[in-house]
Amino acid sequence: MSRRFLLWAVVLAAGPGLAAQAHPQPASPPARPLAFLPPPKAAPVATINWLTVTGAAAGAAAGALIGTRGLSFAAVAPSQRSAHEWRAGATYGVIGGVLGAALAERLSGPGPPQPHRFWLDRWNTPLIAGIGAVQVLDYTSTRYFRDRGKDEWLLTNSLVDKRAPFIATEISAAAAGVSLMYLLHRAGHHKLERWAAAAYIAFGVVSAIANYRYPATGHALF
């Protein structure tokens, strides 16, 4: 090893340090005191899909119109009429709003990739089947108390006594439950998506039990 090589080796090794002393690095960002915490995430920017909002509004308006104008309240006692109109309008309004929003969301494109599939998923598939099952239970339990002469509380007797419109209503309600899951799925709220379905099923089971008890208890609700 020549002396010159050794000199160059020393200069090269010391160089960066000398250079750093001569030209101090620009100030680096101060170390965070709690370095073990993950770096703060930028707040997610809330974006509003106006097509979905429009779909929700249009669906809710159409539903409210069906619930208040499309049903016959003639057979309802006059003192009960406005309450039934209000409940039917709200029920169909919510169903229409959720269906309209989900349809608009679906039509607005495939959306960002999601961590699981919507229909064929180990949680969603049984939950969707459960929503369908409680809707069937609602149909059979409503028929049960109607056959025993008890009055419908939420909608009207004339509607639930007609097979086709009542089945159409039950299918719409089940579709609204699945649509709510879908909206939460598209928004990235996958836990809430499943909890909403579980709540829908739980509510449906409680409601069906109340319906089956209705002829014995005499009141439509618990």
- Contact set with Zn ion (CB under 5 A): 185, 190, 193
**Closer CB to Zn ion, 143 or 190, in the complex:** 190
CB of 218 to Zn ion, least distance (A): 42
Report in angstroms the alpha-carbon separations of 213 from 46, 143, 150, 183.
Answer: 46, 12, 11, 34
Rg (alpha carbons) of the chain, rounded to whole number: 31
∠ CA 136-140-144, nearest 5°, is 165
Minimum distance of Zn ion from residue 121's CB (angstroms): 7
**116 or 163: CB nearest Zn ion:** 116
Shortest gap between Cβ of 138 and Zn ion (angstroms)? 25
Compare residues 40 and 109 and give the one whose CB is closer to Zn ion: 109
Shortest reach from residue 127's CB to Zn ion, in Å: 11
- Is 208 within 8 Å of 138 (Cβ atoms)? yes
Nearer to Zn ion, 170 or 193 (CB): 193
Transcribe 20-80 into DSSP letters: HHHSPPPPPPPPPS-TTSPPPPPPPPP---HHHHHHHHHHHHHHHHIIIIIS--TTS-HHH
Amino acid at 135: Q
How far apart are alpha carbons 81 and 75 in whole angstroms? Answer: 9
Which of 40, 115 has the CB closer to Zn ion?
115
- Least distance (Å) from Zn ion to the CB of residue 215? 40
Distance CA 174, CA 131 (A): 6
Q: Between 150 and 186, name the residue whose CB sits nearer to Zn ion.
A: 186
CB closer to Zn ion out of 152 and 193: 193
With CA atoms as reference, report the closest residue to 178 among 132, 121, 111: 132
Question: Which one, of 166, 128, 161, 131, lies nearest residue 147 by Cα?
Answer: 161
Minimum CB separation of residue 159 from Zn ion in Å reads 34
Residue 63 Cβ vs Zn ion, minimum distance, rounded to whole Å: 25
